[in-house]
Structure 1
Amino acid sequence: MKSFLAALLAAAASFSLLPSVQASKEVFAHVILGNTADLQTTDWESDITLAQEAKIDGFVLNVAFNDPNNDQSLSRAFEAAASKNFSLFFSFDYLALGPWPQASVVDLLNRFVSSPAYFKQDDKPFVSTFEGPGNADDWPGIKSQTNCFFVPDWSSLPATEAVSRAGGVVDGLFSFNAWPVGPTNMTTEPDKDFQSALSGAGDKKYMMPVSPWFYTALPGLAKNWMWRGDNLWEERWKQVLEIQPDFVQILTWNDFGESHYIGPVRELPAKQLIDAGGAPVDYVSGNTHDGWRKQLPFYIEQYKSGTTEQEFEESVVAYYRTNPAQACGSGGTTGNNADFPGQVEIPPDQMVEDSVFYTALLKEPAQVEVEIGGVKVEGNTAFFSRPQGDGAGIYQGSVSFGGKTGDVVVRVVRDGNVIAEAKGGAPIAAECTAINWNAVCISSP
């Protein structure tokens, strides 16, 4: 074990060369405003408190054009955020309900940018989009009327083209490319493409996406595919340390339909999506993702300060799918989506592992025990986050289902004592009518 850790520590030594301080460095979580119509101000306050406990700096509000609930939801969100000293900014969605007219963008910004909660960069209100490069020529006029700091997601374009649209109107770019293609893990190549294009265009900012999962099964809305989530959360935070972006945006806080939510499951909007989309199985109820927030304070502080020299409580996080990949029918789900350039659809069981994945935030090495259905299985542990010193940081590993079903318990043991334990998630089961490709994520208290 010691020689294995030593080799990994040596391989990770390059992290010590990374800059320890950088301007900006804010971490936001993407919120689908359309999933918040039933949230009262107190509900917003509750979600904001959870986000602040995870050291998230603010919410990115994805706003669809002409959604009848926009005014009510925005008023409640900004009231709550102002009371909690929390940041918000708009991401204008150009796909959900059609493109935003220029005048409507200006009107909405002018109504809310004076709020103390509205996030500003260089004293300018920060604004993003979900797609909309076809309306790029609107933005010189919008910027002249609002003085906004414009960082859109135009990921449907190559980064070099996006950065030059409308005479180079952008102040930076956000990438929605947060998931790997096929059975391999996510790389930093897309992030480096964005950084290269932005650096070649002057002092423009890069907002990097981080996401834990992706699975959507809403055939009624023409959505039924998945991308690999195995090791994705922890690997992307390693990549944040490597890339050192100006901003990070977590995808997402509450997109239940695409299974990458890290906020609490809100039963009503989740059920509405499942019903409206004709899902073959309810893949949200009981599939908590709260555990993915547990170690966020450590990840975020490491990104912002470049150090693991921080106070933390030892913890363990585990996530897994609740059905073996070949337990029953796929529900029509494909691995990859052929509508995206360069993607070839393959069976989803060829993209994912039947494994329990775990991360342990430790002050020094310890053993990890995984129990499935009351039976212990052996696991492997790897170390990534501290290049030198006393071994404090994140350890990661996984164990195969191995045909086992039942409740999942993951324990961290040192000198015969259990120092952290994650349990209480939905059990792994082989009985199903259609596979639920979503994950359950649990953590120690």
Structure 2
Amino acid sequence: MLIIQVGVAASMSPAEWEHDIIEAQKAHIDGFALNIAPQDDYTDRVLQTAYDAAERIGNFSLFLSFDYESGGPWPQDRVIAIINTYKSRPAQYLYKGKALVSTFEGAESSGDWPMIRHATDCVFVPSWTSLSPSGLHNVHHTIDGAFSWDAWPVGAQEKDILSDRAWISALSGKPYMMAVSPWFYTNLPQWNKNWLWRGDDLWHYRWRQVIDLQPAMIQILTWNDYGEAHYIGPIYDSGIPDGASWYVKGCPHDAWREFLPHYIDAYRRRGAMIREGALNPSAVTSYAPRRPLSYTDKIVYWYRLNPSNSGSTNGTTGNNLNMGQPGLEPGEVSQDRVFVSVLVTEPSQVHVQIGHAAPIVLFAHEPGLNHYSVPFDGHSGPVRIAIVRHGREIEIAVGPAITENCIEGKVNWNAYVGSS
């Protein structure tokens, strides 16, 4: 099951829901996790609109994720009523025949869930990440699985799978839902939020971890959380929180969906081969799409438009000090680099040029997905990327200029994402 969280939906029209569902299907995403908060008076209307749209489109699933962090705990009877309202809808995702239900935090309300599970007959896979794997034994009897929100590295390092393995071990055979996210930057002082975690190469390498680890379920964070800059869906102005427009508008992320079919199909293919006994789980995975899967040469790229020292940090820290993480300069965490993934049908060169600087020449030795990064090295200007084969440019992408001209003098730590 491959799903993605949707949370900013109060003003979404039926047509926008349908468009987003179709775009998610193109990316081989199975469904949406609908993040809902108790204080929202539009919840019932939004849920009805979402389920109706999914059922009109078909072949797409939804499930409820109760947000206990935003607006406080949910009343137990209201949770039961909402689950029972939607659990029999055709678009409801069923895990082993029962409606899947999740949360964002809410471990302090864990005592409510035995009654909720009994009254709804749901499969309960919460995100009680604050408990950590070591605290899971206290609620093991209450849950049917667990989802960890731990999708980003801490500090100036790459994300590893130590915490994923710890959750899997603590679950003792119950299903694990693994989080994947491309980026994290938020600057919303009214909510006491102004930090970043390293994105950089994360989108590519986290998917490699998913393919190798083979979790039972995957949740992408997120489809449309613009305020935290980890959206991969289209930008709707009405969903951008107050104060976030300056770092969201002009920074599309749609191209992060381009290679999702290849990552997702590789995850499913490896899982099928392991289940059939045709592959040892410890075997090294090839990330090249296998024929007869049809694909063409393609470039996906992302980078920040401002070098880290080109303006004010505006109080942004690397790491979240509210969580007790050590504070770093944001430029230590988010690197001044252009990140490039290419899908090639034959061995090729990849040329990356920033402004008038000489192109950096990279090599894709094998057909399939290849990933690189190139430092800014003080250069500015448009970014031009080309797949070159037999002396000829096969595919070209040109991204907007890297510039020291910052909006309002502030460095934008969000990513611009594009494709050929």
Give TM-score, length-normalised by structure 2: 0.92
Deviates more, 1:361-370 or 1:225-234: 361-370
Deviates more, 1:145-154 or 1:155-164: 155-164
- State the Cα distance separating 1:420 from its structure 2 match: 2.3
Question: Root-mean-square deviation (CA), in Å?
Answer: 1.5
Write the distance in 1 (CA, Å) between the matches of 2:69 and 2:51.
24
Give the match for residue 223 of structure 1. 193
Deviates more, 1:236-245 or 1:391-400: 391-400
Give the match for residue 435 of structure 1. 411
Is 1:98 aligned with 2:86?
no
Give the match for residue 248 of structure 1. 218
Is 1:377 aligned with 2:351?
no
Q: Which aligned pairs between 1:314-333 and structure 2 lie closer than 5 A?
A: 314-333=297-316
Q: Which aligned pairs between 1:132-151 and structure 2 lie closer than 5 A?
A: 132-151=106-125
- State the Cα distance separating 1:376 from its structure 2 match: 4.0
- State the Cα distance separating 1:97 from its structure 2 match: 1.1
Write the distance in 1 (CA, Å) between the matches of 2:161 and 2:71.
32
SS in 2 for 1:241: helix
User: AA paired with 2:242?
Assistant: I
Superposed CA deviations along residues 139-180 of structure 1, whole A, max 9, x for unmatched, are: 110110111011000000121322541x51111100100000
> Pick from 150, 171, 182: which aligns with 1:177?
150
> Pick from 252, 256, 259: which aligns with 1:292?
256
Write the distance in 1 (CA, Å) between the matches of 2:45 and 2:137.
34
Relative contact order higher in (CA < 8 Å, ≥ 6 apart): 1
Write the distance in 2 (CA, Å) between the matches of 1:377 and 1:254.
35
Write the distance in 1 (CA, Å) between the matches of 2:391 and 2:9.
46
- State the Cα distance separating 1:253 from its structure 2 match: 0.3
Give the match for residue 82 of structure 1. 55
Is 1:400 aligned with 2:375?
yes
Is 1:27 aligned with 2:6?
no
Superposed CA deviations along residues 382-440 of structure 1, whole A, max 9, x for unmatched, are: 77xxxxxxx332111111112222222221111123222233x4421101200000001
User: AA paired with 1:274?
Assistant: D
> Pick from 398, 408, 417: which aligns with 2:392?
417
SS in 1 for 2:130: coil
> Pick from 242, 245, 248: which aligns with 1:274?
242
Judge conservation of contact 2:351–2:362 (CA < 8 Å) in 1: no
Deviates more, 1:433-442 or 1:359-368: 359-368
User: AA paired with 1:303?
Assistant: Y
Q: Which aligned pairs between 1:124-203 and structure 2 lie closer than 5 A?
A: 124-165=98-139, 168-199=141-172, 203=173
- State the Cα distance separating 1:375 from its structure 2 match: 4.0
- State the Cα distance separating 1:352 from its structure 2 match: 2.2
- State the Cα distance separating 1:110 from its structure 2 match: 1.0
User: AA paired with 2:218?
Assistant: V
- State the Cα distance separating 1:381 from its structure 2 match: 4.8
Judge conservation of contact 2:349–2:362 (CA < 8 Å) in 1: no
Write the distance in 2 (CA, Å) between the matches of 1:189 and 1:348.
24
Write the distance in 2 (CA, Å) between the matches of 1:430 and 1:31.
34
Write the distance in 1 (CA, Å) between the matches of 2:389 and 2:358.
17
Judge conservation of contact 1:361–1:394 (CA < 8 Å) in 2: yes
- State the Cα distance separating 1:313 from its structure 2 match: 2.3
Write the distance in 2 (CA, Å) between the matches of 1:379 and 1:145.
61
SS in 1 for 2:232: coil
User: AA paired with 2:415?
Assistant: A
Q: Which aligned pairs between 1:293-372 and structure 2 lie closer than 5 A?
A: 293-306=257-270, 308-309=289-290, 310-341=293-324, 343-372=325-354
Deviates more, 1:319-328 or 1:405-414: 405-414
- State the Cα distance separating 1:380 from its structure 2 match: 4.1
Give the match for residue 5 of structure 1. none
Unaligned runs of 5+ in 1: 1-25, 384-390
Judge conservation of contact 2:136–2:171 (CA < 8 Å) in 1: no
Superposed CA deviations along residues 272-292 of structure 1, whole A, max 9, x for unmatched, are: x133xxx5x710001000110
Judge conservation of contact 2:348–2:363 (CA < 8 Å) in 1: no
Judge conservation of contact 1:29–1:249 (CA < 8 Å) in 2: yes
Give TM-score, length-normalised by structure 1: 0.87
User: AA paired with 1:337?
Assistant: N
Judge conservation of contact 1:212–1:233 (CA < 8 Å) in 2: yes
- State the Cα distance separating 1:245 from its structure 2 match: 0.4
Give the match for residue 280 of structure 2. none
> Measured at CA, do residues 130 and 379 of structure 1 come closer, stay the same or move farther in structure 2, by a change above 3 Å?
farther
Superposed CA deviations along residues 234-261 of structure 1, whole A, max 9, x for unmatched, are: 0101111221100111000000000000
Is 1:63 aligned with 2:41?
no
> Pick from 41, 53, 71: which aligns with 2:14?
41
SS in 2 for 1:339: helix
Unaligned runs of 5+ in 2: 271-285
Q: Which aligned pairs between 1:254-265 and structure 2 lie closer than 5 A?
A: 254-265=224-235
Give the match for residue 273 of structure 2. none
Write the distance in 1 (CA, Å) between the matches of 2:356 and 2:67.
47
Write the distance in 1 (CA, Å) between the matches of 2:312 and 2:234.
28
User: AA paired with 1:334?
Assistant: T
Is 1:53 aligned with 2:26?
yes
Seq. identity, %: 44
User: AA paired with 1:162?
Assistant: L
